[in-house]
Amino acid sequence: MMSSPTPSTCPLPLRKADFATLTEALDYAADSERGLNFHSGNGQLLEALTYRDLRAQAVSLARRLLAAGFKPGERIALIAETSGDFVRAFFACAYAGIAPVPMPLPMAFGGREGYVSHIRGMLGTARASGLFAPASLVGWVAEAAEGLGLRAVGDLGVLDGFAEQGIDLPAVGDDDVAYLQFSSGSTRFPSGITVTHRSFMANARAIVEHGLRIDTGDRGVSWLPFYHDMGLVGFLLAPLTAQVSVDFLPTHEFARRPLTWLTLISRNRGTLSYSPSFGYELCARRAALSKPEGIDLSSWRGAGIGGDMIRPHVLANFAETFASCGFDRRAFVPSYGMAETTLAVSFAPLDTGAEVDCVDMDVLEDDGRAVAPQAADARARDFVLCGPPLPDHAVEIRDPDGAILGERRLGRLFVRGPSLMSGYFEQPEETARTLSADGWLDTGDLGYRVGEALVITGRAKDLIIVNGRNIWPQDLEWSAERVSGLRSGDVAAFSVDQSEAERIVVLVHCRTPDPEARETLKAAVAGALRAEHGAEARIVLVPPHSLPQTSSGKLSRSRARQLFLRGTFGEGL
């Protein structure tokens, strides 16, 4: 065990991501005693990796990669465990002019067979030349790589026999590929998103200077996975470009011990930390069972929220639960972004908290206008404002014909700016469908503007259209989850074609075999959807933990729909 984590402050003058490449950023940070700290699930410090040591070890590994026959311009897959070895391997690739390709851990794949198949597909998509993984997963990844002709498969120990002497590192340019970031695959098999050093640095500068306004003494804390853009860019790479120390909790430990996240913020005086809504919800739920003691969250100035639809009531409950621990609800920073834009598109203003826009859902669903409810009994919903686009970035909201819409008109979001990907790796047709010749990215998201602030309402592909009415699946899911006995993540809603019409299907986790209790649950969910949304739905009970997730832990409605249509849950059309 290490005795102490890296410091939050040191004499090195702060530079705010004003570098050309990731390697240049680490070269500068290497003069700092700050760095990355890896903790166990109960908060014990396992490794304190200074930026100085990281650079030395990464350069050594880079030379051994080249000595082993890897060539600049190739790609190496890295199973993204929350560990120093992943970070060493990532930057070794960077110094060797090789694009690292972070890949997920097995958690979301339901066993060895599904995981091996998924990793094999990703290896083929990335045309990887090598694959490095934690020792505990070497057997699994070797099976995934079998027959693909990779130059090396295993943990970093396979490089031990290669000499560094006489190996020159290549020059790394800002238009070189920094890494491939796989999308989470919520609507299709993941695509490899090509991120150059130039586009990464543009996003990092916007995050550091504008979005979070990082200053001397800031400290990050994260449990987010390194194979997801929020974890990789937001809490590994961007902090490094501003020489910020970060504390990491393993992703797989967070669900078991969520309050360790808050304990690390308290103990090390963390100032910046992000989570999707479910992370805040899990902490509040766990705190209700066992009152946390000795946690001081008064240092937390940037409590980011993003990565999925933002649930205002979850944030309100978290703020109320932890107010006695010094948490200030004004610390919430709603944000919007995606891997195709490196990470961030917009940030809400700091020190204002989560501002909401209350909308009449009947008008929004029927007419596409976001207006305040006029009647006391109107069906209303609060949407969170995610702030204006970052400097040098532009957002347009367009109708189905491509016309730009005005304020409070619902449409599809398009983004343009220096942070955008160069394309999907070796997928020119998919790139052309998503990224126009004049640089506009079709995000696939729906939303509207309030002033300059963006409001995200959901994914266009997930939208349910019944009798000309637009219904957001998450609204149905959230209403169903309020039924007694259900909780967040227990419901998936989508539509299916039936007799030349759309029908809503709602899959619901059920934890009891009792026939009467099951019928009661179905009736309660159907009643809630009818009362709150005027929606008739077919309720299908499914076993616990059977709803599919993407690698980043989001519900995959498209996959759930596929499983339903195949009869996986015992009920087809």
271-303 pLDDT, tens digit per residue, is 999 999 989 999 999 998 887 889 999 999 999
What is the domain count for the chain? 3
Beta strands in 207-323 (DSSP E): 219-222, 245-248, 272-275, 302-305
Give the model's pLDDT for residue 551. 63
Say how far apart CA 555 and CA 254 lie, in whole Å.
Answer: 18
> Is the same domain home to 477 and 439?
no
Beta carbons of 486 and 448 less than 8 angstroms apart: no
Give the model's pLDDT for residue 552. 62
Amino acid at 441: L
Give the model's pLDDT for residue 303. 98
Give the model's pLDDT for residue 300. 98
Say how far apart CA 119 and CA 123 lie, in whole Å.
Answer: 6
202 — pLDDT class (breaks 50, 70, 90) = very high
Q: Which residues pair with 469 in a beta bridge?
A: 466
> Is the same domain home to 176 and 142?
yes
Beta carbons of 220 and 247 less than 8 angstroms apart: yes
Statement: the pTM of the whole predicted model exceeds 0.85: yes
Q: What pLDDT digit, counting tens, does each position of 146-196 carry?
A: 999 999 999 999 999 999 999 999 999 999 999 999 976 544 567 899 999
What value does the mean pLDDT take over residues 354-365? 95
Residue 312 lies in a domain: no
Tokens of 84: 């120093």
Give the model's pLDDT for residue 186. 43
Q: Point out the least confidently predicted range of 66-75, 230-239, 286-295.
A: 286-295
Say how far apart CA 349 and CA 31 lie, in whole Å.
Answer: 32
Residues 6+ apart with CB under 8 A from 42: 257, 260
Q: Rg (Cα) of the chain, in Å, rounded?
A: 24
Residue 315 lies in a domain: no
Q: What pLDDT digit, counting tens, does each position of 98-150 carry?
A: 999 999 999 767 789 989 999 999 999 999 999 999 999 999 999 999 999 99
Residue 482 has pLDDT above 50, yes or no: yes
> Is the same domain home to 440 and 497?
no
Residue 187 lies in a domain: yes
In the block, which residue shows the tokens 């009994």?
377
Beta carbons of 302 and 350 less than 8 angstroms apart: yes
Q: Which domain holds residue 394?
A: 335-461
Say how far apart CA 354 and CA 527 lie, in whole Å.
Answer: 31
> Is the same domain home to 445 and 470?
no
Average pLDDT, rounded, for the chain: 93
Say how far apart CA 179 and CA 132 lie, in whole Å.
Answer: 15
6 vs 111, higher pLDDT: 6
Give the model's pLDDT for residue 499. 52
Per mean pLDDT, which of 325-334, 524-533, 534-543 is the most reliable?
325-334
Residue 489 has pLDDT above 90, yes or no: no
Residue 311 lies in a domain: no
> Is the same domain home to 422 and 495?
no
Q: Which residues pair with 471 in a beta bridge?
A: 464
> Is the same domain home to 532 and 471?
yes
Give the model's pLDDT for residue 442. 97
Amino acid at 140: W
Residue 384 has pLDDT above 70, yes or no: yes
